[in-house]
């Protein structure tokens, strides 16, 4: 670490104290941000942390929809996103108008939105979920009810498979996870026959990988898990090598939590440019200038709160 970085981290530390701020970081953030944060975790854990903090300021090192979720859960706090360009291609894949039109086609259907959606989409939803609890959320809905699940088609397919429940699934995808394909996984598995594969349900390889594993044609066992689930599983399992199918930022966390194990990215180029927009300089500037505040208008927040609270309560 060079002297500038050390000074910058010290400056952030002082500002964090004087502003009475908590710094939350997603598992895909750059290592320096993960190390600096008060708490690093997946979408569900970060939402819960935001809801329970007693600090008046939350610096959200993640992407815009995460800061919005924190704003809905904590309307009295100041939520800062260090770079407003930190968006999400998956969240962009459905607009409120598209959702309203979809709902009109299926009156009475229950709308389940993945957390990777805007607050306006959440305000049009009955339940929100994350990759950690999507299965439990769908299981909590009476079996006779029709479900509209959005926006991720790979997560939707995984939930259908695990619950045995047929849903209407929006055809959205995350460009980073969709680029993690079954061929790469298969090739890496051949090189590491004693490894286990940990796959995020947003990945394009999830369905084909499960199919290949079911047919006995994939040489390693697989587990479909949220980012936090991967960290936990790797630390607890007896396996030494893991093939990791998600955004590469997670590898830093995994190596910290299980330093004696080996982690191999299924696609080393699977890097989210939105997550990587957050840098130490921008976190310092966020605290110095109290920028950029993400505040969900109260009329939207009021409607988004119940589905988000259902999400944080389940699983």
Nearer to ligand SF4 by Cβ, of 119 and 174: the residue is 174
The span from the first CA to the last CA of the chain, in angstroms, equals 39
Q: Residue 209 CB, nearest distance to ligand 13P (Å)?
A: 17
Residue with Cβ nearer ligand 13P (44 or 304): 44
Q: Compute φ and ψ for 302, nearest 5 degrees.
A: -60, -40
Residue 152: name the closest of 208, 81, 202 by CA: 202
Q: How far is the CB of 130 from ligand SF4 (least distance, A)?
A: 11
Does 116 interact with ligand SF4 (rule: CB under 6 A)?
yes
Is residue 71 part of the contact set for ligand 13P (CB under 6 A)? no
* Site track for ligand 13P across 245-264, x = CB under 6 A: --------------------
Q: Nearest distance from residue 235's CB to ligand 13P, in Å?
A: 16
Q: How many CA atoms lie within 13 A of 122 on its CB side?
A: 33
User: At which residue do the structure tokens 């479900």 appear?
Assistant: 147
Shortest Å, Cβ 311 to ligand SF4: 16
Q: Is 134 in the site for ligand SF4 (CB under 6 A)?
A: no
Question: What is d(CA 220, CA 56) in angstroms, rounded to the nearest whole number?
Answer: 47
What count of other Cβ atoms lies within 10 Å of the Cβ of residue 223?
A: 14
Please, what is the Cα angle at 275 between 171 and 182, to 5 degrees?
Answer: 50
Binding of residue 83 to ligand SF4 (CB under 6 A): no
For ligand SF4, the binding residues in 223-262 under the rule CB under 6 A are: 247
Q: How far is CA 10 from CA 7, 16, 253, 284, in A?
A: 5, 10, 22, 10
180 binds ligand SF4 (CB under 6 A): no
Hey, which residues between 14 and 43 contact ligand SF4 (CB under 6 A)?
A: none
Here's the x/- map for ligand 13P, 21-40, by CB under 6 A: it reads as ------x-------------
Say whether residue 227 binds ligand 13P (CB under 6 A).
yes
Kind and range of the H or E run holding 159:
helix 153-163
Rounded CA Rg of the chain:
19
């Amino acid at each position: 670490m060079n002297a500038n970085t050390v000074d910058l981290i010290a400056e952030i530390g002082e500002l964090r104290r004087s502003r009475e701020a908590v710094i939350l970081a997603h598992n895909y953030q750059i290592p320096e941000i993960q190390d600096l944060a008060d708490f690093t975790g997946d979408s569900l854990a970060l939402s819960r942390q935001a809801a329970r903090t007693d600090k008046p300021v939350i610096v959200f090192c993640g992407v815009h929809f995460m800061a919005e979720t924190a704003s809905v859960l904590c309307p009295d706090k100041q939520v800062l996103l260090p770079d407003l360009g930190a968006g999400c291609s998956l969240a962009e894949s459905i607009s409120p108008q598209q959702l309203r039109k979809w709902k009109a086609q299926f009156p009475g259907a229950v709308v389940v939105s993945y957390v990777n959606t805007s607050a306006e989409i959440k305000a049009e939803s009955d339940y929100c979920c994350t990759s950690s609890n999507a299965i439990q959320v769908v299981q909590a809905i009476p079996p006779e009810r029709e479900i509209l699940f959005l926006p991720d088609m790979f997560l939707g397919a995984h939930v259908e498979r695990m619950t045995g429940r047929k849903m209407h699934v929006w055809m959205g995808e995350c460009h980073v996870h969709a680029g993690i394909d079954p061929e790469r996984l298969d090739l890496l598995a051949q090189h590491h026959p004693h490894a286990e594969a940990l796959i995020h349900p947003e990945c394009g390889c999830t369905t084909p990988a499960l199919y290949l594993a079911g047919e006995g044609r994939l040489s390693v066992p697989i587990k479909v898990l949220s980012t936090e689930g991967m960290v936990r599983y790797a630390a607890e399992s007896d396996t030494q090598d893991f093939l990791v199918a998600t955004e590469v930022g997670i590898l830093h966390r995994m190596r910290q939590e299980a330093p004696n194990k080996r982690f191999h990215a299924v696609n080393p180029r699977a890097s989210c440019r939105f997550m990587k927009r957050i840098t130490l300089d921008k976190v310092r500037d966020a605290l110095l200038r109290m920028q950029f505040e993400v505040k969900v208008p109260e009329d939207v927040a009021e409607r988004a709160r119940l589905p988000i609270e259902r999400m944080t309560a389940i699983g």
